[in-house]
Every structure is written in C-alpha cells, then in structure tokens.
Structure 1
Amino acid sequence: MGSFIIISTFLLVLLLFPSFHPKCGASASADEAAALLKWKASFQNQNNSFLTSWNLQSINAKKSSVLPCTWAGISCIDGKIFGSIPKQIGNLSKLSYLNFYANELSQEIPPEICNLTNLTHLDFGSNQLSGPIPVAMENLISLQFLSFNQFSGPLPELLCQSGILHNITVSENMLTGPIPKSLQNCSSLVRAHFNSNRFQGNLSEMFGIYPVLDFIDLSNNKFYGKLSSNWGKCKILTTLVVAKNNITGAIPPEIGNLTQLHKLDLSSNYLSGEIPREVGKLASMLKLDLHDNQLTGSIPQELGIGELTQLSELDLSRNFFTGEIPSEFQSLQSLGTLDLSQNNLSGSIPKALAELPGLLHINLSFNNLEGPIPSALYKEIVRSTEEFSETYCIGKGGCGSHSILVYEYLERGSLAKILSIEEEAKELDWQKRLNIIKGVAHALSYMHHDCSPPIVHRDISSNNILLDPECEAHVSDFGTSKFLRRDSSNWSSLAGTYGYVAPEFAYTMKVNEKCDVYSFGVLTMEVIKGKHPGDLIANLMSSKLEEIELKDLLDQRLLYPNEQIEKSLISVLKLARECLHVEPQCRPTMLIISRLISAC
C-alpha cells in the first residue's frame, strides 16, 4: 500500500470515527484503540512508518486516557471535524458505511464520492456542506440511508433507481424542484424527511403507494394540489406531516385506513370541507393537528365515540367549524391538549371536559360559546393556580353563573418583542439581562426539582418570557408543558419553537428536563446577543472558549460591559455552552445552573 493511499486512509479514520472525539469531556477509549488495531491487521504493509506507533505496548497507565490520540495519523479534535471532504475518498471503493454526522465540514461534496458504489449508508447531516448534490449520486445503487444538509438545487433524478433506498433525510436545506420520479415510486422507502426546503409541485401527483413507509415529513415547503387517497394505502404509516404548504381540497376519507398512524399534521394549509368521520377509526392516533385551514361543518362526534382512545393532542383551531363541542369528547381519556379556538362554535362547554383526567391545556377562545364554565373545570383552574403569588392572581369571583379569574397584565410584553425594538432593547442593560437569565433559571429549577411531579415546559423561548415593569422575567405559556411521571416512559409528540428544540428530538420523542435545559441555553445566548444566536451555537460548541471573542457574542446596541459585568457574562456563557451539549446526559440540571448562576 503506497503512502498516498495511507494518507487518504488516515483522513478517513478521522472522519469516520466520531467516537474518537471526547464525549462529555472523556477521551478515546481502549475499545476504540482495539478497533483501530484490528483494522491495521487487515493492511498488507503493516511496517509503514505511519503504523509503527499503532500499538498498546508503548502506552503506560498514565497515558491510557488519551489513546489512540497519540498515534500517527490520528487526531482527536475537541468535538468536531473541520475542512472539506478530500476527493481521495473516492479511492475507497469497498467502503459501505460513511457517517459524517454532526461535524463542521464545509464546501461541496466531491464528485469522487460517487465512485463508492458499495455504499449502503451515507450521512452528511448537521454540517456546513453546501452547493448542489452531485448528479452521479444516483449511481450509488446500494444506498439504503441518505442524509444531507445545507444543499441547494434539485435532488438527483434517479436516487432510488435500485429500489432499495430505505431512509432519505434532506430536511432543512434549500433544495428546490419537484420530488424525483424515482422517489415517487420507491416502494422500499421506510422513512423520509423532506421538510423545510423549497420543494414544489402537485402533491397529488408526486407520491405513490409505499408498503413499508413508517414516517414521512413534507412540511414547510411549497407543495400544492390535493391530498391523494393513496396515503390511505400506506398501511404501516405512523407519522404523516404535510404542514405549512399550499394544499387544497378535502381530507381524503381513506386516511381512516391508517390504523397504525400516531401523528397526523396537516396544519397551515388551505384544506376545506368537513373532517371525514373515518378519522375516528385511527385507534393509534396520539396527535391530530388540523389548525389554520379552511375546514367547515361541525366537529364529528366520531372523534369522541370512535377509537381515538389514545389521543393526547387535538388542535382544530383557526378554522370555520360550527355547531357545538361534541359531548362525546368525554371518551378521550388520554387527552392532554385541546385547542378549538378561533372557530364559530356555539352552545355551552360540555361538563364532561372538566372530568378528563389528563387535560392540561384547553383553549376555547374566540368562539360563540355561552353559559357557565363547568364548575369542575373552574375549580381545577383555581387549584392549579392557588400557589401563585397574590402579585399575579389579583382575584376571583363572578357575576351570576359566570366565574371569573383575574390576572395581572404584564404590560412590557414578551422578551422577543422587546429585543426586536432597538429603543426598548437598549433599556435592557447588562445587569437587567443577567437578572432575566437568573429569573428564568430559578423558575425552571422550581418546575424541575420542587414540583411533584416535575414539570417540563417544552417551549422555552423569548416569545414565552414576559417582562413586568421592573423587567423581572415571568415564564408563560404552559400549553405544551408536561408532567414527568417517574414510572412512565414520558414519550411525547414534538413540541416547542423551532430554533430552541433540543437536537435529540430528531431521533427520539422522549421528554425529560434536559429538553428545557437546551432551550435555556439558546435563550441565554439570545438575551446576551440581542437576537436568536443561530449559527453562533455551532461556533460556540466547536471552538474553545479562549478562541472566542466576547464582543462577538454581545448585543452591539449596548456599550461594552464593565469588568465586573464582563466576568459575569463570561461565566453565564460558559454555563450556556454546557446547556447546549448535543448529548442530553452531559447537560447540567437546572438546579445546578440556578445555584451557579446566582453567584454571577
């Protein structure tokens, strides 16, 4: 084996073994060294100068914590790999598994990668790669898993020409054009993430029947046309998300055939007509979201008397529904969130709603409802707020049969609004901003560690932090909050605001306190920067703190802080960095954060 090949091979090692990089501060393990030695044993020329250091004898116990970082050709960088993908990678013709996930690779994919015809798994996710996807990628006929990021242009036309592609993830790019015909007829497809791009075209003509499809997300694109009845023939589909497009027409009744469907999100489109009664057959449904459409008619009673016994979230808001709220909703014993706001509903609120054991969030505002709030529901509201300070709960009373709760109005509004207005943002000096961060930290610490059961907010963002006249922070909007049951798995549908949601939600829907910790880290950077940090998060996590200029993380609308405030800001930013760790178990608890931040 020539030295040229060895050098390119070492480049590959650096890219393909992310576990060599420290995880939660730990260095590479002896297990990883053993894996490299096994790989070395497969080389024909093991006496090459690069390989002589690849052994365990020269490493004593004191150095065992850093192997194989001391070996020639191996670099253990603190968390990330930088630079471009070398074109020599195309020489590794027998390579079958290539994973670049979660690094800092940039520039375009070299076309030589298309020489790797034995690839079955290719993951470019969470990098800074850009440019078009090489057309010759369609020649990778063994490909089963494909993940991209930050790319533009169309998808290669023949991506699934082999008919064995299982997983394609191209979410959050700038990809354009229609979905290729090869993917339209890709019967091997199991999971597909097309969301958050600029795809367009007639949705009713783009997708066929997928016998093994489990998950598909088409949201936040420019698709138009109607929903095809073919979706009802994808028998094992568990998640169908087509939100934020330009879909028109009625919801096909064939959707009711998807007995394994857990999540149906058709929100923010132009759907019309009535909800088909067949939706009541979806026995596995956990979340049904049809908000922000043009749906009409009455809410079908089949949603209550049907088979939706596991339904936990129902959002029919911002439509044109008429008639009464079905009393049959009393059968939805697992319901935790019910939003029927901004419709034309009339009549009284069914008393049975107050008796639903898990109902945490109900929004019936902006309708034509009348009559009293059911007494049990009113008492539950009072019970839920009885520990609030008198500062926030001004009083309770009523007029006739109408019960009333009165709360203080926080006139300054949301933190997001204040930061977006230059004059108001300048009024939030560094000390006030530190106090806001401390206030949110203390509130989350209370929710996570002093409440029984603990409460996870799930939507910490600048829009949900309200300020009073003294600029004291108040955490608001508990509509997506969730009680954590220690004897439960705590699985949930995705909630939260884009840009604040913890990255583990990309592959799991399990809720714990560390979701809020990540969101708190983003919020902390936003308060200090004066706007959402965006790409600064990646820069902060991939760089050593001493390499980062504090001024680059500060709101330029304020004067540079004095020495004392500067030290506090640095300490807070260090905490924020810990909160943003990609591994949930590596993030500190809010109790620890609250205690540390009090000293800042």
Structure 2
Amino acid sequence: MSFPNLEYLDLGLNKLFDVIPPQISNLSKLYYLDLSTNQLSGRIPPEISLLRNLTFLGLYENTFFGDIPNEIGSLKSLVGLYLFKNQLNGSIPRSLGDLTSLTHLYLYNNPLSGSIPEEIGNLKSLVILDLSANNLNGLIPPQISYLSTLHYLDLSQNQLSRRIPPEISLLKNLTKLILSKNTLFGDIPSEIGNMKSLVGLYLYNNQLNGSIPRSLGELTCLTTLYLYGNQLSGTIPNEIGNMKSLVDLDLSQNQLSGIIHASFGNLTNLEFLMLRANQLSGSIPEEIENLKKLAQLQLEINQFSGYLPRNICQSGKLTNFSASTNNFSGPIPKTLKTCTSLFRVHLQRNQLTGNISEDFGVYPNLDFIDVSHNNLYGEVSNNWGQCAQLKTLRLAGNNLTGSIPAEIGNATQIHELDLSSNHLAGTIPKEFGRLSSLVKLMLNGNQLSGRIPSEFGSLLDLEYIDLSTNKLNESIPSIVGDLFRLHYLNLSNNNLVQAIPLELQKLVQLTDLDLSHNSLGGMIPSEMSSMQSLLTLNLSHNNLSGFIPTNFQDMRGLLYIDVSYNQLEGPLPNNSAFREAPPEALKGNNGLCGKVGALLPPCNEHGSKKHQKRCKEGRSIRIKTKTTSMKKFPFQF
C-alpha cells in the first residue's frame, strides 16, 4: 500500500474478500478505517496496531476468526472499536483496558469466551458497551461501576453467572441496562433504584429469585421493565404504581403471588402489561380500566377470580387479550363486542357465562380466538364468517346449541376450527368446502347428523380431522383418500355404514386412524397395507368380516391395533402390533386364531391351508369375472 498520506479509508458495504494485508500498517496517518460489511476473513493482523492515529476501526459484519490481537491495546487514540458480527473467539484481551479514549465498544455476536476482564473498568470515557451474544462466563466485574459516563450496557445472551453486583447502581448516567438471557441468580439489588436515568431495564430469562425490590418504584423515567422468565416470588410491590413513564411491563413466568394493586391504574402510559404464568390471585382492580393506551393484556395461567374488566377496550386500542386458565366468572366484557382492534384473544379454561351469540361482533383484524372450556351457551354466530383474517376459531367445551352456520364457510383464512364438545346438531355445512386453508378440524362430541360432505375433497391442506362421537351416517366418502396431508383421522362413534373405502390407501402420511364404533361392513381392504406411516389403527365395534389381510405384516411402523367386536376370522398377521396386542383389542371375534396369550386358539395347518385356499379362490373368481366380461363385450376397433 503506497498511500503514505491517506487519512480516511472507507471500503464498507462492498464484496471484498480474503484477508487484511499486514501492509495496511504502512498507512501511518490513517485515523479512520472502515472495512465493515464485506466478506473478509482470516485473522485480524496484529500489525493494525501500528496505526497509532486511528480513532475509528470498523471491521464488523465479516467472517474474521481467531483472537482479538492483544496489540490493539496500543491504539491509544481509538474512540470507536466495532468488531461485532464476526467469528472471533478466545477471550477479550486485558489490553483493551488501555484504550482510555474509547467511547464505543461493540463486540457483540461473536463466540468470544472467558470472563469479562476487570480492566474494562479503566475505560472511563466509554458511553456504549455491547458484549452481548457471546459465550462469556463468570461474574460481572464490580469494576464496571467505574464507567461513570456509560449510557448503554448490554451483556445479554452470554453465560454470566453469580449475582448482579450492587456496584452497578453507581452508573448514574445509564439509560439502558440489559443483562437478559444469562444464568444470573440471587436478588435484584435494591440499589438499582438509585439509577434514576434508567429508561430500559432488561433482566429477563435468568435465575433471579427473591422479591421485586420496592426501590424500583423510584425509577420514574423507566419505560420498559422486563423481569420475566426468572424465579421471583412474593407480591408485586405497590410502588410499581409510581413508575408513571412505564410503557412496557413484563413480569411473566415467575412465582409471584398476591393481588394486582389498584396503583396499577396510575400507569396511564402503559401499552403492554404481561403478568402471565405466575400465582397471582384475587380480582382485577377496576382501576385497570384507566389504562387507556393498553394494547396487550396478558393475565393467563394464574389464579385470578371475579369478573373480567368490563371496559377493558373502551379506548379501542386493545389487540391482544389473554386471560385463559384462571377462575374468572361472569360475562364476556361488553366492550369486546365492538373492539375492532382485536388481533388475538385467549379466554379459555375459565368459568365464563353468557350467550355467546351476543358477545362477539365482527373483527377485521382478528387472527386467533379461543373461548373453549367455559360455561357459555347460545349458538355459533354468523359473524365469525365476516372475520376475514381469522385463522383460529376455538369454541370447544361449552354448551352451544343449534346448527353450524353456513356463513362460517366465508372465513376462508381459517386454519383451525374447533367446535368440539358442545351440543351442536344438524348437518356439517357443505360450505366448509370453501375453507381451502383449513389444517385442523374438530367437530367431535356433538350431535351432528347426515353425511360427511363430499366437498371436503377440496380441503387439500387438512392434516387433522376429528368428527367422532356424533350421529353421522351413510358411507365414508372416497374423497377422504384425496386428503394426502392427513396424519390424524377419527370418525369413531358414529353411524357410518358400508365398506371401508379403498381410497384410504392413498393416505400415506396418516399416523392415527380410528373408525371404531360404527356399522362398517365387508372385508378390511388389503390395500391399507400401503399406509406405512400408520402407528395406531382402531377398527373395533363394527361389522367387519373375513380375514385380516396378511400383508398387514409389512406395516412395520404399526404400534397399536384394535379389531375387537367384529366378525373377523383366520390367523393374525405376523406383525408385532398384532402379536403384542392386549386381549381386549382382539376379543369379540369368533374366528381369529394365533399365538396371543391364552385368548386365541392356535391356527392348525388345516385352518391355515383353508385361509390360503380362500384367498386363491377370491383371486380366481376375479379373473373368471374379467374373462366373462371380455367374452360378453369384445374389444372393438
């Protein structure tokens, strides 16, 4: 390199590759060097340390590997060091502590290991320190508290352990403290309440225990507080209500108990409130309705009781409302009916009551709703068919009556529809054939009658169908065989008749098939042996006759079968699922034989030959029929 007077070199955002040549050290007057966002590789040459005038060194977003050269500590003029998003390994060199002019140090997204050197505390000019997404371990050195000008500290996504040093509270100018996704344990230091400049505090996904310190209520500038995914216990301090700048509060996935204080109503800037998966109890205070900006409220998996907040969506900004798996009772809040901002709603597994026909309206943005397993009554509303973006509708386990409205077929984005365990009657609407995105359909446990619609043949994305425990009749439509993606099919406990359709053999991805408790007749199709993914097969309590096809022995993946209470005869296939079947899975057939405990008689040689002869006769009959047919209707040209 023959540019001895070059002072500024920016080659970032190109497609440069190979290594940095050691001769770069000849650019002795260089104060700015940016080689970022290229395809450079190899080691960072130690000769780079000879650029004594360098104030900015940007090597980020390349594929450099190996150690950070110890010699970089000689670049005493350096103000910004950007080495993030490479493949640098080894430890952070102690010599970096000599870069006393450094204001910005970015080493994140590398596989750096070892501990954070104590010498980091010498960087008294540092404003931003980001060591996140590495493999750093050990403790957070107390010397980090010497960085009195620090505004931003990110040590997240490492393997740091032990306690958060209380000395960290001496960083009075810090606005963001990010220690998430480590293995830090012990109490949250109460001294953190002295960090009055904090805007964001991120301690989530650690192993912190003890209670939430009351002193956090003194962080009146804080907008984001993430403590979720720890082992915090005790009550939520009343002082949280003093944090009037809070926009985002997440205390989920801890062991917090007690009530939500009325002081939460003071958090009038709050947009996101997440308290899910704790042991909180009591009723939701009415003051929560003061949170006019609330967009997300997550209360699920606690022990809350009483009514849901009546005016929870009076501002019209609520998008996500989750209160599932609690002990809430009473009606669905009336403001939800006109809350057109809703995107996701989880209210399942409570004791909610009321007429579901009247509780919900039309939601242009709704993606997911689950009100299953409550005490709701009424009919399935036509309005669901007008929710154009709806992908999941779960109304299972209530006391719904009436028929399924044909208008549901207009919600063409639905992926999952669960109306199971209700008292729905009438037929399955043929309009379901329009639900071309449907993946999972559960209508089991109702009183539906009539046939399975042939329009199901257009639902080519279906993977899961449960129509069991209804009053469906007629035959299983052959179009079911066209649903190639099916892995679960349950049509049990209906009034289905006639033979098992041969077309089921095309369901090569099916793992579970249950046709039990119907009135199916005829023989078990030997073609079903091509269903090589099948793990469980239940054909019990039907009128099936003849022999179990011998080629079922080729179904090596089959783990469980039940053919009880039919009219089957002959030997069992030589397959472990049959050999190891419990007696109750075979009983109720008079003619079966084989070595399965003491239940079945052994198959004698005469019986085995009779079985073979009958199979040959069956083939002979089919051949003769074809021959006769050819004589009767000769080929014509």
Q: TM-score range by the shorter chain?
A: 0.5 to 0.7
Q: 1:27 to 1:200 in 2, by over 3 A?
A: farther
1:233 Cα offset (Å): 2.0
Task: Please list the CA deviations of residues 85-142 of structure 1 after superposition, one character each: whole Å capped at 9, or x if unmatched.
Answer: 1111111122121111111111111221122122211111001111111121122211
Say if 2:465 and 2:488, in contact at 8 Å, map to a contact too.
no
Higher normalized helix content (fraction of residues):
1
1:218 Cα offset (Å): 0.2
SS at match of 1:333: coil
1:53 Cα offset (Å): 5.0
Structure 1 residue 77 corresponds to structure 2 residue 64: no
1:69 Cα offset (Å): 9.7
1:395 Cα offset (Å): 9.2
* Separation in structure 1 between the aligned mates of residue 333 and residue 349 of structure 2, nearest angstrom: 17
Match of 1:185 in 2: 218
Say if 1:256 and 1:282, in contact at 8 Å, map to a contact too.
no
Match of 2:488 in 1: 410
* Separation in structure 1 between the aligned mates of residue 48 and residue 354 of structure 2, nearest angstrom: 77
* Separation in structure 2 between the aligned mates of residue 208 and residue 150 of structure 1, nearest angstrom: 29
Match of 1:362 in 2: 393
Q: 1:351 to 1:137 in 2, by over 3 A?
A: same
1:410 Cα offset (Å): 3.1
Match of 1:214 in 2: 247
Match of 2:565 in 1: none
- One-letter code aligned to 2:49: L
* Separation in structure 1 between the aligned mates of residue 290 and residue 465 of structure 2, nearest angstrom: 48
1:48-197 aligned at under 5 Å gives the runs 51-52=49-50, 73=71, 77-78=87-88, 79-148=110-179, 149-197=182-230
Say if 2:224 and 2:247, in contact at 8 Å, map to a contact too.
yes
* Separation in structure 1 between the aligned mates of residue 16 and residue 300 of structure 2, nearest angstrom: 42
Q: 1:21 to 1:257 in 2, by over 3 A?
A: farther
* Separation in structure 1 between the aligned mates of residue 378 and residue 236 of structure 2, nearest angstrom: 38
1:68 Cα offset (Å): 13
SS at match of 1:223: strand
Q: 1:393 to 1:224 in 2, by over 3 A?
A: closer
1:283-302 aligned at under 5 Å gives the runs 283-302=316-335
Task: Please list the CA deviations of residues 425-446 of structure 1 after superposition, one character each: whole Å capped at 9, or x if unmatched.
Answer: xxxxxxxxxx99xx9xxxxxxx
Say if 2:244 and 2:268, in contact at 8 Å, map to a contact too.
yes
Say if 1:253 and 1:279, in contact at 8 Å, map to a contact too.
no
Structure 1 residue 374 corresponds to structure 2 residue 446: no
Say if 1:28 and 1:67, in contact at 8 Å, map to a contact too.
no
1:490-529 aligned at under 5 Å gives the runs none
- One-letter code aligned to 1:300: P
Identify the match of residue 336 of structure 1 among 351, 367, 370.
367
SS at match of 2:361: helix
Say if 1:410 and 1:469, in contact at 8 Å, map to a contact too.
no
Say if 2:193 and 2:217, in contact at 8 Å, map to a contact too.
no
Asked which structure has the greater RCO (Cα within 8 Å, sep 6+), the reply is 1
* Separation in structure 2 between the aligned mates of residue 130 and residue 247 of structure 1, nearest angstrom: 28
Say if 2:340 and 2:362, in contact at 8 Å, map to a contact too.
yes
Task: Please list the CA deviations of residues 479-526 of structure 1 after superposition, one character each: whole Å capped at 9, or x if unmatched.
Answer: xxxxxxxxxxxxxxxxxxxxxxxxxxxxxxxxxxxxxxxxxxxxxxxx
* Separation in structure 2 between the aligned mates of residue 24 and residue 410 of structure 1, nearest angstrom: 50
Q: 1:311 to 1:277 in 2, by over 3 A?
A: same
* Separation in structure 1 between the aligned mates of residue 242 and residue 176 of structure 2, nearest angstrom: 20
Say if 2:357 and 2:380, in contact at 8 Å, map to a contact too.
no
Q: 1:374 to 1:163 in 2, by over 3 A?
A: same
* Separation in structure 2 between the aligned mates of residue 302 and residue 124 of structure 1, nearest angstrom: 43
Q: 1:142 to 1:338 in 2, by over 3 A?
A: same
Say if 1:257 and 1:282, in contact at 8 Å, map to a contact too.
no
SS at match of 1:277: coil
1:205 Cα offset (Å): 2.8
Match of 2:460 in 1: 388
* Separation in structure 2 between the aligned mates of residue 290 and residue 66 of structure 1, nearest angstrom: 48
* Separation in structure 1 between the aligned mates of residue 464 and residue 191 of structure 2, nearest angstrom: 60
Q: 1:394 to 1:300 in 2, by over 3 A?
A: closer
* Separation in structure 2 between the aligned mates of residue 243 and residue 376 of structure 1, nearest angstrom: 35
Task: Please list the CA deviations of residues 248-275 of structure 1 after superposition, one character each: whole Å capped at 9, or x if unmatched.
Answer: 1111222222222111001001111111
| 372-381 or 235-244, which deviates more | 372-381
Structure 1 residue 250 corresponds to structure 2 residue 283: yes
Match of 2:583 in 1: none
SS at match of 2:293: coil
1:354 Cα offset (Å): 2.3
- One-letter code aligned to 2:169: E
* Separation in structure 2 between the aligned mates of residue 27 and residue 214 of structure 1, nearest angstrom: 47
Say if 2:357 and 2:379, in contact at 8 Å, map to a contact too.
no
* Separation in structure 1 between the aligned mates of residue 266 and residue 147 of structure 2, nearest angstrom: 35
Match of 2:341 in 1: 310
* Separation in structure 2 between the aligned mates of residue 23 and residue 220 of structure 1, nearest angstrom: 44
Match of 1:259 in 2: 292
1:173 Cα offset (Å): 0.3
* Separation in structure 1 between the aligned mates of residue 12 and residue 462 of structure 2, nearest angstrom: 51
- One-letter code aligned to 1:388: L
- One-letter code aligned to 1:382: G
Say if 1:292 and 1:318, in contact at 8 Å, map to a contact too.
yes
- One-letter code aligned to 2:222: L
Q: How many residues align?
A: 381
* Separation in structure 2 between the aligned mates of residue 199 and residue 179 of structure 1, nearest angstrom: 7
* Separation in structure 2 between the aligned mates of residue 97 and residue 320 of structure 1, nearest angstrom: 51
Match of 1:445 in 2: none
* Separation in structure 2 between the aligned mates of residue 472 and residue 357 of structure 1, nearest angstrom: 36
Say if 2:131 and 2:156, in contact at 8 Å, map to a contact too.
yes
* Separation in structure 2 between the aligned mates of residue 101 and residue 23 of structure 1, nearest angstrom: 26
- One-letter code aligned to 2:532: E
SS at match of 2:167: helix
Higher Cα radius of gyration: 2
1:469 Cα offset (Å): 6.8
Match of 1:279 in 2: 312
* Separation in structure 1 between the aligned mates of residue 152 and residue 87 of structure 2, nearest angstrom: 24
What is the TM-score of this pair, normalised by structure 2?
0.53
Say if 2:371 and 2:394, in contact at 8 Å, map to a contact too.
yes
Q: 1:251 to 1:397 in 2, by over 3 A?
A: closer
Q: 1:202 to 1:326 in 2, by over 3 A?
A: farther
SS at match of 1:279: coil
Say if 2:252 and 2:278, in contact at 8 Å, map to a contact too.
yes
1:189 Cα offset (Å): 0.6
1:568-587 aligned at under 5 Å gives the runs none
Q: 1:136 to 1:379 in 2, by over 3 A?
A: farther
Gaps of 5+ in 1: 1-19, 41-47, 57-63, 413-434, 440-467, 474-600
Question: What is the root-mean-square deviation in Å for CA atoms of aligned residues?
Answer: 4.4
Q: 1:344 to 1:389 in 2, by over 3 A?
A: closer
Q: 1:121 to 1:353 in 2, by over 3 A?
A: same
* Separation in structure 2 between the aligned mates of residue 175 and residue 365 of structure 1, nearest angstrom: 38
SS at match of 2:71: coil
1:381 Cα offset (Å): 3.9
SS at match of 2:364: coil
Identify the match of residue 302 of structure 2 among 262, 269, 276.
269
- One-letter code aligned to 1:146: L
- One-letter code aligned to 1:111: P
Say if 2:31 and 2:53, in contact at 8 Å, map to a contact too.
no
Q: 1:29 to 1:267 in 2, by over 3 A?
A: farther
What is the TM-score of this pair, normalised by structure 1?
0.56
Say if 1:197 and 1:220, in contact at 8 Å, map to a contact too.
yes
